Chains A and B, each alone.
Chain A
Amino acid sequence: MFIFSPLDQFDMKLFMGFASPMDFMSNLNMTTFTMYTMLVYLVMYYMFKLSLNNKKMMGSQWFLSMEATFHTMLNMVKGQMGGTAYGTYVPFIYTLFIFILIANLMGMMPYSFALSACLVFMMSLSIMIWMGVTILGLVKHGFVFFSLFVPGGTPLPLVPVLVLIELLSYTARAVSLGLRLSANTLAGHLLLNILSSLMFTFMSISYLTFGMGMLPLFGVFAMVGLEWVMGMIQAYVFSILTSSYIKDAVYLH
């Protein structure tokens, strides 16, 4: 009897390995992760390129939908950051949003691989963003950047405790941003795998259980729909939080 773990869907399979006497060359292996990242990149590239309608003067419906996603992000970043500096960071936030959205939507295809469920990848992305934002704040404001940890209107005796708490909360951002996305995706896909294998086993016992399983099956379909929505929401949440962190670094209070 073979027992297949629900975690098998997140296994990295090696397609092409690079063996070398040097240690670091072995990191250039072609795995499922590499393949799906390239697929996401190809989808991103052709999604925008093909929507240009052969660079005609009149945009197509597809071009309009691409422009709508850009304007959504533009207005989101403008609402979050405001001021004069928001425009510089819109391309970055938009790229993050589109990448995570397409990765999540591709991960929802049956037998596909969920890129966002790779904890190391998402945590590395969030740590990179956090470090970039911190260096940006330090370069822009110098030591005045540390005034971010003192909320306005704090009584003086409370300042040492509050600074420690704010510092901890700020440091936790590095981890929470990526962990939120990957934990949601991992848990969602795991749940879908477990529920659907449960339903398959139950409904394949007899005609009676097949009929009985129809109602819970709609529950599983609802969970699948919820996972689609969660994938899109998580991409939006990641972008909105990134823009909020950039706002904190650029404008402080």
Chain B
Amino acid sequence: MVNVTRYAVPILKPYWTFFAGAGITYYLIGKAANASMNSDEFINDPRHPRFNRGEKVIDIKALP
């Protein structure tokens, strides 16, 4: 069994700004990744998660 002892080291009080920064970074990088994933270059990539939902290939040339 793993024996892990919890010590009273302050984590949230001195480092809450870095947690906030991590949250903001996660949000921004997620937005950038989704935008890149849904761009014309990668919308029809077979690894795109939309194909797991049963969506079909989009004809980019036919789009207005």
Contacts and interface: CB of A to CB of B under 8 A. Distances in A.
B14 interface: yes
A55 to B, nearest CB: 10
Interface string B41-64: 000000101001100000000000
A19 B21 contact: no
Residue picked from A133, A134, A136, most chain B C-beta under 10 Å:
A136
B25 A127 contact: yes
A132 B18 contact: yes
A139 B22 CA distance: 17
A54 to B, nearest CB: 11
Interface residues of A, number: 24
Contacts of B29: 120, 124, 127
Nearest to B53: A21
A129 B18 contact: yes
Interface residues of B, number: 22
Interface in A81-113: 88-89, 91-92
A162 B55 CA distance: 53
A127 B14 CA distance: 18
A130 B53 contact: no
B8 interface: no
B20 interface: yes
A120 B25 CA distance: 11
A128 B9 contact: no
A128 B21 contact: yes
A132 B49 contact: no
A14 B45 CA distance: 15
Contacts of B52: 19-20, 26
Contacts of B53: 21
B49 A26 contact: yes
A8 interface: no
B58 to A, nearest CB: 16
B14 A131 contact: no
A88 B14 CA distance: 7
Chain A to chain B: the 4 pairs with minimum beta-carbon distance, closest first: A131-B21, A132-B18, A132-B21, A26-B49
